[in-house]
Structure 1
């Protein structure tokens, strides 16, 4: 996934380095000789799934193309405190100036991967897939969705351009039957159309349209036990997504209703970060 978006990843890193370093790392530039070289190791301080090693490597190599990074673990690997994740060798200035950004990204992405995986493992016995949302950090969506995939989740649409999602705020402005027909005329034939539904009454209308995906939004478990059988018994091929207010306290009850997907905003907007350090060893 990262290779596919190589240019975008470089742009993200350059913007982040500009934010942090600005016109120069004044402390490092004054104290550290330009020719000084060093070695450092990334070390896990938490249990979790590591994610973001290739991005951290790119951070250092944007600063100095001669930096050498050797992976000791691969993205997607479960690690425990004290395990070495990678070694970094090269100019000390590049390591010191890039340290914070590399760690920020790895800690954030590893946190997302680990948190996503907790939901994935709960949903797996029921054949339910965990989806992410657009609730991502501005300019970090590409990387955060990569972390979701690393944790075993599935990416929903990347943005407003690659799939249609007719939400309740749209439906307050339009007639759903007419809007759906118009939409199908305008979009590519292979583009998926999803419709968000909050009530049983609206669900009855949407079932007749047979969209690719029906999103049951903000329905409690009791309503899901009514809504999901309605869709299944109708015989339409639409997939069912459940969304809204899903957390660790209710995920088990939700997946037991056996939708196809459960989308969870918190896996990208508020996961706990994983603690990782970069230790200079010479």
Structure 2
């Protein structure tokens, strides 16, 4: 497994926020024609970031960067961010997650960008927490995949960690994953594994297997991590037992056609991981709101 970076890279946050603000305001410095028309630049106030749903929060760490960049673009003082809960916290509807204080123009211009990022991340964390809870006590962990929103992979994989999940590979560069098309192109599982080992001897090799024979061939070729794809529970249990009999140290992952209802059943086969693309490609947002306090004008 790839060791995940526990926190978001500040440089990545800065780049991502800049792109998001360009989308909303137009090229830097940009403008908000409504807010800048109706709110005097000297007006100050406070706003509460509030959960409108129960869930697990993530992405709150991006908020200071959002309000900081907005203040710089508008030429106004920096707003302060009093974060009330850390990322990864279970929250209830109505909980105040952070209080932002400063120029009202900054708060309102920053609103949608910070909500987009935090709501998206919190949705992923909330969904992941359901899987982590379902697997609790089984010894199996839930993994994410590369099925992420372009440009937001770092945030979404961070959110998976906040929800109790585990990151798999971060991209095509850090782990070799031999799948069916690679096997077709190389001629066999063994040939594909050998080709990767020769070209990139320093990387971990993972191999997808659809059948017992493929799994055993991959282990014989030296694979230390197998993706057992779209297997019914009885076949999955058979493959796990057969592989463990050959090499008990090989890591095994169930993937494909997984649902929360099946999570513990699949884990009972002895796999180490369940990989769930839906953590990042199908999680609904967690509804968050930024409410300006009445004294803000």
Q: Which residue of structure 2 aligns with residue 44 of structure 1?
A: 51
Q: Which residue of structure 2 aligns with residue 10 of structure 1?
A: 14
Using structure 1 for the length normalisation, give the TM-score.
0.95
CA shift for structure 1 position 236: 5.0
CA distance in 2, matches of 1:208, 1:260: 20
CA distance in 2, matches of 1:12, 1:233: 47
Match of 1:25 among 19, 32, 35: 32
Q: Which residue of structure 1 aligns with residue 219 of structure 2?
A: 207
Instruction: Verify the 8 A CA contact 1:194 1:213 in the aligned structure 2.
Output: yes
Secondary structure of the equivalent of 1:241? strand
* 1:91-110 equivalence runs, <5 A: 91-110=103-122
**Residues matched between the structures, number:** 281
Structure 1: gaps spanning 5 or more residues: none
Instruction: Verify the 8 A CA contact 1:69 1:87 in the aligned structure 2.
Output: yes
Q: Which residue of structure 2 aligns with residue 55 of structure 1?
A: 62
What's the CA shift string for 1:219-248, capped at 9, x where partnerless?
A: 111210211101111125210011112112
Q: Which residue of structure 2 aligns with residue 222 of structure 1?
A: 234
RMSD of aligned alpha carbons: 1.4
Instruction: Verify the 8 A CA contact 2:138 2:264 in the aligned structure 1.
Output: no
Runs of 4+ in 1 over 4 A off after TM superposition: 1-4
CA shift for structure 1 position 272: 2.2
* 1:1-282 equivalence runs, <5 A: 1=5, 5-22=9-26, 23-64=30-71, 66-175=78-187, 176-189=189-202, 191-281=203-293, 282=296
Q: Which residue of structure 1 aligns with residue 75 of structure 2?
A: none
CA shift for structure 1 position 104: 1.3
Secondary structure of the equivalent of 1:26? coil
CA shift for structure 1 position 188: 4.2
Structure 2: gaps spanning 5 or more residues: 73-77
Instruction: Verify the 8 A CA contact 2:142 2:166 in the aligned structure 1.
Output: yes
CA shift for structure 1 position 60: 1.0
CA distance in 2, matches of 1:183, 1:227: 24
CA shift for structure 1 position 273: 1.6
CA distance in 1, matches of 2:277, 2:35: 39
Instruction: Verify the 8 A CA contact 1:2 1:9 in the aligned structure 2.
Output: no
